[in-house]
Structure 1
Amino acid sequence: MKLLTLFSSLLFSTFSLAGDKIYDESRDRHIPIEVSHPIESEHCNEAQKCSVAMLSAGYGVSHTKYAFLSKQLNQLGYMVIAIGHELENDPPLSVSGNLYETRSENWIRGAETLDFIKHSLASTYQNYNFNDLLLIGHSNGGDISSWLANAGKDYIDTVITLDHRRVPLPRRKDINVLSIRGSDYPADDGVLPSKKEAKEYSMCVKEIPESRHNDMTDYGPKWLKDEINRVIDNFLNGSSCRVNS
């Protein structure tokens, strides 16, 4: 598997945070973000830091259209940083050839963005723990999250994907993994764990019957959003997960 190599210069990149965007000077990128805080954020402090989730939108979907996820994670004690990865001048996502190869540029760029935001905002939000991140992403955002998780970074605690289809989930015993699957499109070979791998690495794959890939956003039906949140809640609270693979 081709892995992402992140340049150490990212650790020292100059950035600025203005309104709903963060500027990465090293790449000249104004990255759209939306930050939402835990319901009981007054309990977050440097001695007892609260958790952080970085939410990556699906391709062509605004990062602001996953409020059902952000609100649920806020209730569970997470600060959520929702991220829009694609800018107007970025090349379009490839739809031809070997997609794992032709889309890797997009995933590399997205993973660099996650890494940049992690290192940049940790000093801004000192009451939050950026060293045990939850990465959550829908579709292409899940591919980006999986790409970074496969890069060997030690600051990722959990990866949750919503029906991503291309990048293999991390097979690492130090990362908790949940993948929620729709019922209309299959994942590529090797993306999801075999039953043996799921057991070895304690990976959770949960298919939601009669659910559609494109409905896993705020635009989707209430029953589906409620079920996604129920699965995530159970997973993060340590409930057992029935593996489908």
Structure 2
Amino acid sequence: MITLSGLLTGCVRQKTPVTVQTQALTVTDVARKREIPVTLYNAAALPARKKQLVIISACYQCGSNVYSFLAEKLATMGYFVVGIQHDLASDPPIATEGDLYTLRMPAWESGVQNIQAVIAELHRAYGRLDTKNLILIGHSMGGDISMLYARQYPGQVAKAITLDHRRMPVPRVSKPAILTIRADEFEADKGVLPTPAEQKKTGIKIIRMTRVKHGDLSDIGSPELKEEVRNMVVRFIERGQ
């Protein structure tokens, strides 16, 4: 059983007449006795139709609302967007030394379960949602979680985008369609990114940015950087480019 509670926190008016409602909620996965902080972004005034669900997974120790520069734009385009905070203050810290792939796997698997719990609750609470053609976006550890979800449940995911994730290997597949946007502050672990030959075979897209820090691929980035990243994400989601 999963329960959802929360509060409408505000509205964001875009340059267009579309107004995006934002709502901070807590999804409780009773089976795991775990609370999952989320933020919903929805332009309720848009024509009623089955909206495609976009899930934005936050980086480690980041809130569910720190990617509003993407979430608000996608909501004005007719997507139903949910940001997820995956780690809690009560969780043990993630490993920073040793075999990080193995040591961090439990945290990534917990993130996959969080996504499943949130999807189940949104499906119940908002019937007119397309939860079978997900668009996953994840930054840093949120990107690791998104790649693990895409690997484990490829039939549920239409497109997956990571913002400088570094540990979980990108699935070498053509479906779902995958884009990874890279900062140049750190290198990804060996084997995480596909080779040029693998990119050509699968259509996986890698965009490498220059003079961009890992943490700036969030709301703390400059307006110019956020606009550039936003355009990349929208172009890939809408046209696959």
Q: Normalising by the residue count of structure 1, what TM-score does the alignment of the two structures yield?
A: 0.87
Structure 1 residues 44, 176: closer, same or farther in 2, change over 3 A?
farther
Instruction: Please name the residue that 2:115 is paired with.
Output: 114
Which fold has the larger relative contact order, with Cα–Cα distance below 8 Å and residues 6 or more apart in sequence? Answer: 1
Q: CA deviation at 1:153?
A: 4.2
SS in 2 for 1:43: coil
| Contact 1:181-1:207 within 8 A present in 2 as well | yes
The amino acid across from 2:188 in the alignment is A
List, as ranges, runs of 4+ consecutive aligned residues in structure 1 with deviation greater than 4 Å: none
5+ residue gaps, structure 2, are 7-24
Following superposition of structure 1 onto structure 2, how do residues 4-23 of structure 1 map, counting pairs within 5 Å? 14-19=1-6, 20-23=25-28
Q: Contact 1:33 / 1:83 at 8 angstroms: preserved in 2?
A: yes
2:27 match: secondary structure: strand
In the other structure, the counterpart of 1:28 is 33
Q: Alignment RMSD, CA only?
A: 1.3
C-alpha distance after superposition, 1:210-230 (max 9, x if no partner): 111011111111111111001
Q: Deviations over 1:191-227 (max 9, x none)?
A: 1111111111111110111111011111111111111
Which SS does the other structure have where 1:52 is aligned?
Answer: strand
Say whether the 8 Å CA contact 1:111–1:148 is kept in structure 2. yes
In 1, Cα distance between the equivalents of 2:77 and 2:189?
32
Alignment of 1:195-210 (within 5 A): 195-210=196-211
Contact 1:135 1:159 in 2 (8 A): yes
- The one-letter code of the counterpart of 1:232 is V
- Alpha carbons 1:56, 1:141 under 8 Å: kept: yes
How far apart are the structure 1 equivalents of 2:129 and 2:231?
24
Alpha carbons 2:54, 2:135 under 8 Å: kept: yes
- Which amino acid in structure 1 is aligned with residue 120 of structure 2? H
Count of aligned pairs: 223
Residues 4-39 of structure 1 show CA distances to partners (whole Å, capped at 9, x for unaligned) of xxxxxxxxxx0111001011000001110111114x
Q: Report the residue type matching 1:152 in the other structure.
A: Y
Structure 1 contact 44–128 (Cα < 8 Å) conserved:
no
Cα distance 1:202–1:153, how it changes in 2: closer, same or farther (>3 A)? Answer: closer
Q: How does 1:123-162 map to 2 (within 5 A)?
A: 123-162=124-163
Unpaired segments of 5 or more residues in structure 1?
1-13, 241-245
Structure 1 41/197 Cα, relative in aligned 2: closer, same or farther at 3 Å? Answer: farther
Question: What does 1:52-71 align with in structure 2 at a 5 Å threshold?
Answer: 52-71=53-72
Q: Is the 8 A contact 2:154 2:175 kept in 1?
A: no
Q: Per residue, is there more strand in 1 or in 2?
A: 2
Question: What secondary structure is seen at the aligned counterpart in 2 of 1:150?
Answer: helix
CA distance in 2, matches of 1:56, 1:41: 25
Counterpart amino acid of 2:117? F
Q: Match of 2:137, SS?
A: strand
Contact 1:215 1:221 in 2 (8 A): yes
In structure 1, what is the equivalent of residue 47 of structure 2? 43
Aligned counterparts of 1:129 and 1:44: Cα–Cα separation in 2: 13
| Matching of residues 84-123 of structure 1 within 5 Å | 84-123=85-124
Aligned counterparts of 2:45 and 2:106: Cα–Cα separation in 1: 37
* CA distance in structure 2 between the partners assigned to 1:239 and 1:130 by the alignment: 20
Q: TM-score, normalised by structure 2?
A: 0.89
